[in-house]
Amino acid sequence: MIEYKGYVAGKIDVDPESGALSGIVAGLRDVVHFEGNSVEELVTAFRDGVDDYLAMCAERNETPDKPFSGKILLRTDPSLHRKAAQRAEAEGLSLSKWIEKQIDAA
């Protein structure tokens, strides 16, 4: 995974004819595209793209879009909800912290 300043590269595509690599920053409403002819160039282009995006937002006096808010709406079977809540309580955690721990472990 390529990550920089809280932004993450999405799916990376390879052009089979030229071997060029390209992708976009994941989770943004705006499109930040980057490309390179090697992994090193791709990573540099990704970081430059994020920096350019943040600079453009600053110039326009706009708040940059963040990839994710940190809030997840989860719908599940009530029995699974109960089981997760019980496990969280047994571990001395809030349900949110317990779910965060499970996601981190995955």
Q: Which range marks the domain in which residue 91 is found? A: 72-106
Domains identified in the chain, total number: 2
- 8 and 55 both lie in a single domain: yes
Q: Whose structure tokens read 């808010």?
A: 69
Q: In angstroms, how far is CA 34 from the centroid of its own chain?
A: 16
Task: Tell whether 54 and 17 lie within a shared domain.
Answer: yes
Please indicate, yes or no, whether residues 50 and 77 belong to a single structural domain of this protein: no
| Stretch 47-72: mean pLDDT | 89
- Residue 15 tokens, joined: 């052009």
pLDDT tens digits, 14-43: 999 999 999 999 888 889 999 999 999 999
Distance CA 26, CA 67 (A): 7
7 SS3 class: strand
Q: Report whether pLDDT(67) > 90.
A: no
- Look at residue 71 in the predicted model and tell me its pLDDT: 78
